Amino acid sequence: MNTNPSALAQLSDAKSGAPSSTPSARDDRPRRSRGRWYSFAGAGALVAVGYMDPGNWATALASGARYGYQLLFVVLLASLMGMLLQWVASRVGVVTGRDLAQLCRERYSRRTTVMLWLACEVAIIACDVAEVVGSAVALQMLFGLSLTAGVLCSAVGTFAMLALQRGGKRPLQRAVTALILFVSFCFVVQLALAHPAWHEALTGFTPPPALLRDAGMLWLAAGVLGATVMPHNLYLHSSLVKDHAPQRDDETIGVALKGVNIDTFASLAIAFIVNASLLIVAAAVFHTAGYTKVDDLADAHRLIAPLVGSHWAGIAFASALLACGLNATVTGTLAGQAVMEGFLKLKVARWARALLTRGLAIGPALVAVASFGQHGSNALLVATQVVLSLQLPLAVIPLVRFASDAGLMGRWRVARVPLALAWTCAGLIVALNAAMLWQAAVGQ
């Protein structure tokens, strides 16, 4: 009688109660939980585009034109803050298997939950207004469309991008990643044409001595910090990664966290390079030539080609702006869907969510560009960043509280040092908002 050793091993394991070591039993666990950390890539790219939206462009251009390379330190600081908070958000999502919106619904009263949901929706719509305006300005730069036509055309691009997700998450993630790489290429072109003073640029990554003495520099620094971290990005990131460790055991969670961390830091490092490059280009082209008040995206586009001496600089500038605007509108739609499902348990199709958000964003954008033209669009762009900054503490404070909860996070609770840094970030954001409101109240 022939005996199958594998069958005997399985029979022995079954009798002893030990887990089976056969390939079929081992394969019951998802493949990516056994060490393939790179299979978790993708969420970081979707989050990173929020760090390169048209609002960031406005503050980086103004900073570089007015103060040269001096505020590169603030860009670095803002990016490090963003990396820390996104790391916390992704950690909470992976460890708990729930996103930030779901945790708020479970742990806060209904009144508080509704308030947080409404605040997040306001932030998403404000961000979408910025993307609409930025995309419209880019279309005007590239094709001569009116701002009104550009606002309407921006909606078409959003639905075209979302249609890619019919084939699963990967096609959309690849498209977003491709656009990020395209934006990076555009800035390589601009840096090559701008010929920056690299020694001065490196010096700019140290704290500027005049930062606390110059009110204008301090105000722009606050703008850079406030425009970098988006509140809905924290909700989105926790939602994108919450299913990465379905087995809830330490090994699976550890592998998932490793992959998510690498994905997050790599993607946000690219976003930092793009933002720093934008400020460096503004410093090298505008500040050096004496144009210290370039607060307008259209003015920046109009000036960059003649100052650099190549029309390709203008094309690269406008193309990168359009790609950033298109990318950010897609992630805004995904964030809106996650927020509605998490806070309200309300499942909405992506096309319906995009239609809702974009419909609410197009209204203010159309009124601004129709009534005030280019000046109105830039004023609206700045206003959206103020709204985002004011909403940010309502996302950051609950997030850090959940991350520090040992009962919720267990052994994966955020350690003391990063937790202290996260609370410091929250305090800094609140202080900047208070300063912003004070200056608005006294009319400065």
pLDDT digits (tens, 9 = 90+) for 227-270: 778 888 999 999 999 988 888 888 889 999 999 999 999 999 99
Two structure tokens written together for 84: 């820390």
pTM comes to 0.84
Closest CA to 260 of 32, 29, 43: 43
Of 365, 342, 145, nearest to 242 by C-alpha is 342
Average pLDDT (30-53) is 72
Please give the structure tokens belonging to residue 172: 């959309």
Give yes or no for residue 12 having a pLDDT over 60. no
Task: Find, among 58, 50, 91, 57, the residue nearest to 230 by Cα.
Answer: 50
| 270 closest CA partner among 36, 41, 432 | 41
Helix 231-241 and helix 72-96: axis angle, to 10°?
Answer: 40
CB 425 within 8 A of CB 84: yes
Long-range contacts for 30-33 (Cβ within 8 Å, ≥24 apart)?
A: 30/246, 30/247, 30/252, 32/255, 32/259, 33/245, 33/246, 33/247, 33/251, 33/252, 33/255, 33/256
Instruction: Answer yes or no: are the C-beta atoms of 294 and 282 closer than 8 Å.
Output: yes
Q: How far apart are CA 135 and CA 19, in angstroms?
A: 56
Region 38-64: mean pLDDT is: 84
* Residue scoring higher pLDDT (275 or 441): 275
Task: For the chain, give every domain's residue range.
Answer: 52-442
| Structure-token pair, residue 405 | 């909860």
Return the minimum-mean-pLDDT range out of 117-131, 175-189, 234-248: 117-131
Q: Is the pLDDT of residue 169 over 90?
A: no
Q: Which two tokens stand for residue 46?
A: 């979707």
Task: Look at residue 390 in the predicted model and tell me its pLDDT.
Answer: 80
Q: How many helices (H) and strands (E) does the chain have?
A: 19, 0
Q: What is the pLDDT of residue 408?
A: 94
pLDDT of residue 332: 81
Confidence of residue 372 (pLDDT cuts 50, 70, 90): low
% residues pLDDT > 70 (the chain): 85
Geometric angle at alpha carbon 132, from 129 and 136, rounded to 5° = 140
For the segment 53-77, the average pLDDT, to the nearest whole number, is 89
pLDDT at res. 440: 63
Structure tokens at 88: 């916390």
pLDDT in tens, 144-156: 988 888 888 877 7
Does residue 67 have a pLDDT over 90? yes
Task: Report the residue count for the chain.
Answer: 444
Measure the CA–CA gap between 116 and 104, rounded to whole angstroms. Answer: 8
CATH code of 52-442, in short, is: 1.20.1740.10
- Average pLDDT, stretch 365-388? 69
pLDDT at site 9: 45
% the chain with pLDDT above 90: 41
Residue 39 or 331, more confident = 331
d(CA 155, CA 360): 12
The pLDDT of residue 20 is above 50: no
Q: Mean pLDDT across the stretch 102-110?
A: 95
Look at residue 16 in the predicted model and tell me its pLDDT: 44
d(CA 162, CA 165): 6
* pLDDT at position 90: 96
Most confidently predicted of 219-228, 242-251, 336-345, 381-390:
336-345
Question: What's the half-sphere exposure (Cβ side, CA atoms, 13 Å) at 76?
Answer: 14
Considering the chain, what is the average pLDDT of its residues? 83
Of the ranges 14-18, 165-169, 172-176, 303-307, the best mean pLDDT one: 303-307
Residue 19 confidence (pLDDT) above 70: no
Cα distances from 401 to residues 239, 242, 351, 409, in angstroms, run 17, 18, 33, 11
Distance, CA of 153 to chain centre: 23
Q: Is the pLDDT score of 79 beyond 70?
A: yes
Question: What's the rounded mean pLDDT across residues 208-223?
Answer: 80
Which among 68-82, 220-234, 377-391 has the top mean pLDDT?
68-82
Mean pLDDT is lowest, of 26-40, 85-99, 165-179, 182-196, for 26-40
pLDDT at residue 355, rounded to an integer: 76
Task: Pick the range with the lowest mean pLDDT from 87-91, 194-198, 222-226, 304-308.
Answer: 222-226
pLDDT for res 222: 77
Please, where are the H alpha helices in 49-168?
54-67, 72-96, 100-107, 110-143, 147-163
Whether the CB-CB separation of 104 and 296 falls below 8 Å is answered with no
Q: How far apart are CA 322 and CA 236, in angstroms?
A: 22
What is the rounded distance in angstroms from the CA atom of residue 199 to the CA atom of residue 58? Answer: 25
**How would residue 32 be classed by pLDDT, with cut points 50, 70 and 90?**
very low
**Average confidence (pLDDT) over 152-177:** 78
Span 76-87, average pLDDT? 94
Mean pLDDT of 421-443: 80
Confidence grade of residue 399 (pLDDT, cut at 50, 70, 90): very high
